Amino acid sequence: MKVLIRIEFEKLIHQKWAWFILVSCIPFAYALITYFVWVDQRHLPDSPFYVAASMSASRGMKESIYLFGNLMVALLAGLLYTEEFQGGKLRMFFLRSYSRGQIFVSKWMIMNLFILLMMVILGVSFTIFGVMKLPSPPEVMISGNRIPSTNVAILFYTLKQYALDFATLIGGGGVVYLDCHVL
């Protein structure tokens, strides 16, 4: 099974579309942070729409998960499954000594690792661009509570947001992948 996962990973990193998905995370993060700057100019720091630099990673992921994240995961799941169909390697694919279940699980695990990598790139990009472009007030509002900008609570809030979003993307990708696998 380890060999199958390694083979699937090597096939994935040699695909141009996989690199396009990962690289597209950076300009998307920049564009969303630029939008946050525009929103911040129209709202006071007490507003729930205001985004501080310390909250850029969590708010960026929260705002991008619905459209960008799910779109990229659906694209990833579809392309992972149809890779053998497009390359004409379907017969060779099933002649290997692996069962269909093992092939399915290995592709699913590679998809989840790729989603995690995509989220890490997005999180780092949101943080870097947020620190560069967004203001850093001494306090931020989280769920109606004022918390100091350098508080550990913001880190835990961000990590919780990313864990929930990762679960959402895995679930959405799993549904798309199962739908492709059944067809």
What is the tens place of the pLDDT at every residue in 5-47? 888 888 888 888 889 889 999 999 999 888 888 887 777 666 6
Global pTM? Answer: 0.77
What is the tens place of the pLDDT at every residue in 55-87? 777 778 878 877 787 788 888 877 777 776 666
> pLDDT > 90: what percent of the chain?
6
Question: Is the pLDDT score of 106 beyond 70?
Answer: yes
Provide the domain limits for residue 82: 2-182
Residues 6 or more apart whose CB falls under 8 angstroms from that of 134 comprise: 33, 36, 37, 40, 51, 52, 53, 56
19 versus 99: the higher-pLDDT residue is 19
Q: What are phi and psi of 81, to 5 degrees?
A: -75, -40
Domain count, the chain: 1
Q: Residue 130 is encoded by which pair of tokens?
A: 């947020």
